[in-house]
Amino acid sequence: MTLRLFNTLTGQLDALEPADGKALRMYACGPTVYDYGHIGNFRTFLQIDILRRFLRLTGTPVRHVMNITDVDDKIIRNSAEAGVSIGEYTARYVEAFFEDLEALRIERPEQIARATEHIPQMASLVEKLARAGAAYKAEDGSWYFRLKAFPEYGKLSKKDLSGMEDGARVDVDEYEKDSARDFALWKAAKPGETSWETAIGQGRPGWHIECSAMAMEYLGESFDLHCGGEDLMFPHHENEIAQSETATHKPFARHWMHVRFLLVDGRKMSKSEGNFYTPRDLLLKGYKASAIRLALISVPYRRPFNFTFDSLTDATNAIDRLRTFQARLKAGKFAAGESKEMQEAAAEARIKYDNALGNDLNTAEALAAIFELARAANTAMDQGQFFASDRDAILPVLRDFDAVFDVIEDRDAEPARRAMAWAEQAGRMGDVAPELKAAQSLGDEAIEALVAERTTAKQARNFARADEIRKELAEKGVVLEDSKDGVRWKRK
RNA sequence: GGCGCGGUACCCAAGUGGUAAGGGAGAGGUCUGCAAAACCUUUAUGCGCCGGUUCGAUCCCGGCCCGCGCCUCCA
């Protein structure tokens, strides 16, 4: 199975394979840690997670590098306002970022690269550009990339900037540039600001240079795939290409993937519009981490995703259906043997699943394949036409589904617990949904004990007590399902 | 203004030149001590509107309307 993935550079679906025949080398633009990540950020990281997980499922190892931008204008400004160093300021957001990744079950890239830890590499890249005549130093000590040095500029975003370079309005604070479109490689130190002493002077990196320098550091001058949100296509990625390819005379990344935006209620999410959400906000409202994950991955990455609270509820219910199905398979007692229909259904679902993801990561279609299989199997079980070998054929399909989607196995308790702990510490207990508080007040052991008591009561035909327990648990969000194979409980 | 994307049932959403996946929700039913789950039936002669190409278009072409994104920091 070869993944065909849309390539922004070529404008078509291209096979995505490691150039060296071994691991796929990919670079993904990570967060700027000036605040908590929001669900828009995580939609991008989640879709990239789908990509890397699918690659691995199909037997392609990945070497995935992600940067953390821990120095930029906002960070400098905010940390100064807070009266702390930028390292101190970013530490909590870096930590929060990893917590959020874990909550959403986004796999850690093989390599995390922090901008502040790669300043020398950036400086030497600027030097290299300077030697090639593509970088120049302005009077204040800042360095700029000379756009005219890279005639192919615009090839990624398909922009033709040739006609509008000169004579264009120049911002007042950019008077030192030769041409309005030239972009900063290195910003000269300003009094009181964090800066580094390097071969190219005292200062701090421009935004784009970090990705070029770190990608080359860990993946080489030329690598397989570069990904990020659609907004990064221009100018960020365009600038990365310009500076990298000018420096190395090699293609930077062969393949470019861009995840489209998440909208909220049909509009761009922004703090000023009041439609801005972080994963933590949603967890505090009582939504499950798995529901957030599924909602954000259920619409294929090349379509905008319109986030609504309905979409989370839908995802919650869809996951519940799959979990119930898997539990039924695992707990059920099936006679030995197999049914031809089920064997075929399992095989077909697996093929459809593979083809869907292999075709530009069509998660919606992959999901459909699994639900179709679930219905067919449930029907067969209802009719007693389901056998032990059928279960053995289907469980691996679910396993492979979860290897990428990772929502069936219930790991929602920990993120919920952590979100509560965070709320307490951040003074946001007022935002915690009552249902979440209630659920958190009841541990698994307590639930098990009540379930056991109810079973005893039922055997004694004491239905009044049994119903009382059911009611008590329901009030704390725990739902019981009786079946001939025992009682199953779940948190709503 | 330039570039790009989308408009499919109550909601979300996939998809194909040959007659509409899947999920959620609603209604009815089967099953059930209760409940839940599961299953069955049901909700688009219809895929924004108007033309065109075609034996045939939701899917191709043209025009129009509506919504959105990017072009500046941004996942």
- Which tens digit of pLDDT belongs to each residue from A14-27? 999 999 999 999 99
Over 80: is that where the pLDDT of A472 sits? yes
User: Is A431 a domain residue?
Assistant: no
Residue where a domain terminates, one of A192, A224, A259 = A259
Over 90: is that where the pLDDT of A229 sits? yes
Assess whether A336 and A467 both reside in one domain. Answer: no
Assess whether A82 and A138 both reside in one domain. Answer: yes
Assess whether A281 and A338 both reside in one domain. Answer: yes
Contact flag, residue A175 CB and nucleic strand B, below 7 A: no
Residue where a domain terminates, one of A378, A404, A430 = A404
Assess whether A288 and A326 both reside in one domain. Answer: yes
A413 CA → B74 C1’, Å: 32
Nearest nt to the A311 alpha carbon by C1': B12
Q: What is the mean pLDDT of residues A386-395?
A: 97
A59: Cβ–Cβ under 8 A, 6 or more apart, which residues?
Answer: none
What's the total number of domains in chain A?
3
State how far the alpha carbon of A86 is from the alpha carbons of A6, A71, A83, in Å.
38, 7, 9
CATH code for position A388: 1.10.730.10
Domain that residue A385 falls in = 267-404
Q: What is the mean pLDDT of residues A409-431?
A: 95
Specify the pLDDT at position A175: 57
Nearest nt to the A207 alpha carbon by C1': B73
Assess whether A273 and A249 both reside in one domain. Answer: no
Tokens of A368: 């459909």
> Mind listing the pLDDT tens digit for each residue in A173-211?
455 788 878 999 999 999 989 999 999 999 999 999 999
User: Is A432 a domain residue?
Assistant: no
Assess whether A279 and A324 both reside in one domain. Answer: yes
Q: What is the mean pLDDT of residues A318-337?
A: 95
State the pLDDT confidence band at A440, using cuts at 50, 70 and 90. Answer: confident
Contact flag, residue A458 CB and nucleic strand B, below 7 A: yes
The three-state secondary structure class of A380 is helix
Nearest nt to the A323 alpha carbon by C1': B37
User: Is A411 a domain residue?
Assistant: no
CATH code for position A131: 3.40.50.620
Percent of chain A with pLDDT over 90: 82
Task: List the single range of A37-46, A386-395, A433-442 with lowest mean pLDDT.
Answer: A433-442
In strand B, the nucleotides that come within 7 Å of a protein beta carbon are 3-6, 11-15, 21-25, 33-40, 67-75
Mean pLDDT value across chain A: 92
Assess whether A197 and A228 both reside in one domain. Answer: yes
Tokens of A9: 């550079």
Nearest nt to the A308 alpha carbon by C1': B12
Residue where a domain terminates, one of A208, A229, A259 = A259
Over 70: is that where the pLDDT of A162 sits? no
**Looking at the C1' of nucleotide B70, which residue has the nearest alpha carbon?**
A231
Alpha helix locations (H) across A285-308?
Answer: 289-298
Specify the pLDDT at position A325: 96
User: Is A428 a domain residue?
Assistant: no
Specify the pLDDT at position A280: 97
A374 CA → B39 C1’, Å: 12
Estimate to the nearest angstrom the gap between the alpha carbon of A204 and the chain centroid. 28
Q: What is the DSSP letter of A69?
A: B
Nearest nt to the A368 alpha carbon by C1': B22
Specify the pLDDT at position A166: 43
User: Is A416 a domain residue?
Assistant: no
Assess whether A161 and A307 both reside in one domain. Answer: no
A292: Cβ–Cβ under 8 A, 6 or more apart, which residues?
Answer: A39, A42, A104, A279, A282, A283, A312, A315
Q: Which of residues 414-453 of A touch strand B (CB under 7 A)?
A: none
Assess whether A51 and A177 both reside in one domain. Answer: yes
- Nearest partner of A225 among A14, A68, A56, A32, judged by Cα: A14
Specify the pLDDT at position A443: 86
Specify the pLDDT at position A265: 85
For A426-482, give the DSSP string.
HT-GGGS-HHHHHHHTS-HHHHHHHHHHHHHHHHTT-HHHHHHHHHHHHHTTEEEEE
Specify the pLDDT at position A164: 46
Specify the pLDDT at position A165: 44
User: Is A78 a domain residue?
Assistant: yes
Assess whether A337 and A212 both reside in one domain. Answer: no
Assess whether A107 and A210 both reside in one domain. Answer: yes
Contact flag, residue A214 CB and nucleic strand B, below 7 A: no
Q: What is the mean pLDDT of residues A286-295?
A: 97
Q: Which of residues 263-282 of A touch strand B (CB under 7 A)?
A: 263, 266-269
> Mind listing the pLDDT tens digit for each residue in A34-86?
999 999 999 999 999 999 999 999 999 999 999 999 999 999 999 999 999 99
User: Is A356 a domain residue?
Assistant: yes
Assess whether A233 and A369 both reside in one domain. Answer: no
User: Is A423 a domain residue?
Assistant: no
Over 80: is that where the pLDDT of A348 sits? yes
ipTM confidence: 0.94
